């Protein structure tokens, strides 16, 4: 996929190369018979949560790492499948080769490749690529864009949406967090729509203005580093559930603007001002 003409960041073209390489590694496995491994501690016999990984995850991350190590050997890498190299480097790439592996193995295209770039520990650039749909989303903290077969479009999150009119997606992992799940269920009674089972594509839909908020839990840095520049660059707000830095968060809340973010956060924390 050709680099965006309108996305101004020194590593934008290289990030496109990384996403292209990941897509080439992934697509031969999609909707094909797969050998699926379970990374969960103890596996099924211990009743652990199913944590699938496939050759698509591993080969995509390997392809990305090869390019980074070839062109920018001084850069660090944090990847879901193969760990950390030089995490204290000035520039660190944060990789989730297939975010939404459960969706991937089910043939549902809500998964994507996440490639984030940290500069001195802060997110500065992010890519979300969905090679099956031919869509790529990228952000720089000040702007965000989507590219597909019909061209480019700047992303703009929806603004001025009242809580009662909000359409929200939440990750299915919330069901494993009783307090957060109960709070989300209460929230459902105050908004227009709340759906479960989002995966990473929900953040792109927030940035593009189709939905108004996303609630996710069960996260690591590679699940969120690429999403922060995309959501923020589109004018949205993304934080940890307590309003702090999302990079270190296990649970996050993203919304199209600060007012809606504040209203949803208040509801989730039991401060219901809409009774």
Question: Sign of torsion, CA 187 192 194 200?
Answer: negative
Q: Each residue of 198-248: pLDDT tens digit? A: 899 999 999 999 999 999 999 999 999 999 999 999 999 999 999 999 999
Going by pLDDT thresholds of 50, 70 and 90, the confidence category of residue 275 is: very low
- Domains, in order of start, for the chain: 12-154 (3.30.540.10), 163-268 (3.40.190.80)
For the chain, give the longest Cα–Cα distance. Answer: 58
Whether pTM exceeds 0.85: yes
User: 3-state secondary structure string, 144-209?
Assistant: EEEEECCEEEECCCCCCCCHHHCEEEECHHHHHCHHHHHHHHHHHCCCCEEEECCCCHHHHHHHCC
On the question of pLDDT at 105 being above 90, the answer is: yes
Q: Each residue of 234-261: pLDDT tens digit? A: 999 999 999 999 999 999 999 999 999 9
Q: Each residue of 172-190: pLDDT tens digit? A: 999 989 999 999 999 999 9
End-to-end CA, the chain: 49
Beta bridge partners of 83: 79
């Amino acid at each position: 996929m050709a680099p965006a003409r309108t996305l101004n960041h020194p590593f934008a073209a290289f990030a496109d190369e990384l996403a292209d390489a990941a897509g080439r590694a992934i697509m031969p496995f999609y909707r094909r018979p797969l050998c699926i491994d379970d990374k969960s501690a103890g596996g099924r016999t211990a009743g652990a949560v199913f944590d699938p990984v496939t050759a698509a995850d591993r080969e995509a991350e390997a392809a990305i790492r090869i390019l980074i190590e070839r062109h920018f050997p001084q850069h660090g890498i944090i990847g879901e499948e193969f760990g950390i190299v030089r995490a204290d480097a000035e520039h660190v790439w944060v990789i989730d080769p297939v975010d939404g592996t459960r969706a991937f193995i089910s043939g549902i295209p809500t998964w994507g490749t996440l490639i984030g770039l940290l500069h001195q520990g802060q997110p500065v650039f992010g890519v979300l690529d969905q090679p099956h749909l031919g869509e790529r989303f990228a952000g720089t903290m000040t702007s965000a864009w989507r590219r597909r077969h019909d061209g480019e479009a700047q992303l703009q999150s929806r603004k001025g949406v009242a809580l009662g009119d909000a359409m929200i997606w939440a990750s299915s992992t919330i069901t494993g967090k009783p307090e957060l799940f109960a709070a989300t269920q209460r929230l459902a009674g105050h908004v227009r729509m709340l759906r479960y089972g989002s995966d990473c594509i929900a953040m792109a839909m927030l940035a593009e203005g189709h939905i108004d908020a996303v609630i996710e839990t069960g996260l690591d840095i590679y699940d969120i580093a690429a999403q922060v520049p995309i959501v923020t660059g589109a004018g949205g707000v993304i934080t940890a559930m307590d309003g702090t830095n999302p990079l270190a968060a296990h649970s996050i809340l993203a919304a199209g603007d600060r007012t809606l973010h504040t209203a949803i956060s208040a509801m989730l924390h039991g401060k219901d001002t809409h009774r």
